[in-house]
């Protein structure tokens, strides 16, 4: 929708707005796996996929379940995977303050680097996209501005780099530093 108005001989105004929705679903992928991995986003691993039954570019990965608060939580999840009478780690190398992942295939442990415990973790396709345009003209001088928004989509947070000399978001100030301090940001 656009609106244009000549307010005076010297001043003109233009406004525009648009709203769009989209629904999508992958009907078929022509390979044996049933999906095509993609989207490394600088993370060194595929974080999205084109898969039958899901939206295009669905984020795929390990699902999180908070932060391990203490060693007792880690030990309580140990199981005897191989029947040798010894409890094996649920999440290899986990320490208090680490991210806790969900065992999607319910076999009693997290399988890093395997398809068994990764799942759909987000949809990059927005429910609505909105655009707004403003145009002003005064005595031959013009000004234009555009604003865009996407609403209802998920984002792969790959903008953080773990470089020694880079700035970090303030969310790290609320990281886990001991039992009960955070259930969303892991230890440093």
**Residue 171, pLDDT score:** 82
CA distance 1 to 61: 40
CB 35 within 8 A of CB 47: no
Strand partners, 20: 129
Greatest CA separation for the chain: 89
**Residue 188, pLDDT score:** 81
**Residue 84, pLDDT score:** 92
Q: Looking at residue 74, what DSSP letter applies?
A: H
**Residue 6, pLDDT score:** 95
Indicate the helix (H) or strand (E) that contains 76: helix 71-76
**Residue 172, pLDDT score:** 82
From first to last of its 188 residues, the chain has per-residue pLDDT tens of: 999 999 999 999 999 999 999 988 889 999 988 888 887 666 667 788 889 999 998 998 899 999 999 999 999 999 888 889 998 899 999 999 999 999 999 988 998 888 899 999 999 999 999 999 999 999 999 999 999 999 999 988 766 656 667 777 788 888 999 999 999 989 88
Q: Looking at residue 20, what DSSP letter applies?
A: E
Query: Measured in whole angstroms, how far is the alpha carbon of residue 181 from the centre of its chain?
Result: 23
**Residue 45, pLDDT score:** 72
CA distance 178 to 127: 39
**Residue 162, pLDDT score:** 61
How many other C-beta atoms are found inside a 10 Å radius of the C-beta of residue 115?
Answer: 13
Q: From edge to edge, which strands make up the β-sheet containing 11-21?
A: 2-6, 11-21, 128-138, 141-151
**Residue 161, pLDDT score:** 59
**Residue 98, pLDDT score:** 95
How many other C-beta atoms are found inside a 10 Å radius of the C-beta of residue 40?
Answer: 13
């Amino acid at each position: 929708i656009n609106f244009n108005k000549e307010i005076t001989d010297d001043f003109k105004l233009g406004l525009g707005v648009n709203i769009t929705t989209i629904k999508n679903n992958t009907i078929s992928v022509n390979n044996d796996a049933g999906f095509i991995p993609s989207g490394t986003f600088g993370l060194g691993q595929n974080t999205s996929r084109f898969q039958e039954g899901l939206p295009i570019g669905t984020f795929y990965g390990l699902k999180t379940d908070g932060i391990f608060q203490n060693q007792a939580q880690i030990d309580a999840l140990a199981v005897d995977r191989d029947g040798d009478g010894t409890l094996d780690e649920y999440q290899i190398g986990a320490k208090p303050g680490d991210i806790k992942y969900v065992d999607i295939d319910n076999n009693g442990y997290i399988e890093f680097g395997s398809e068994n415990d990764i799942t759909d973790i987000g949809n990059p396709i927005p429910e609505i996209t909105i655009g707004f345009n403003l145009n002003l003209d005064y005595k031959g001088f013009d000004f234009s501005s555009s604003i865009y928004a996407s609403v209802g989509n998920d984002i792969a947070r790959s903008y953080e780099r773990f470089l020694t000399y880079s700035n970090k978001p303030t969310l790290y100030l609320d990281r886990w530093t001991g039992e009960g301090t955070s259930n969303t940001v892991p230890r440093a």
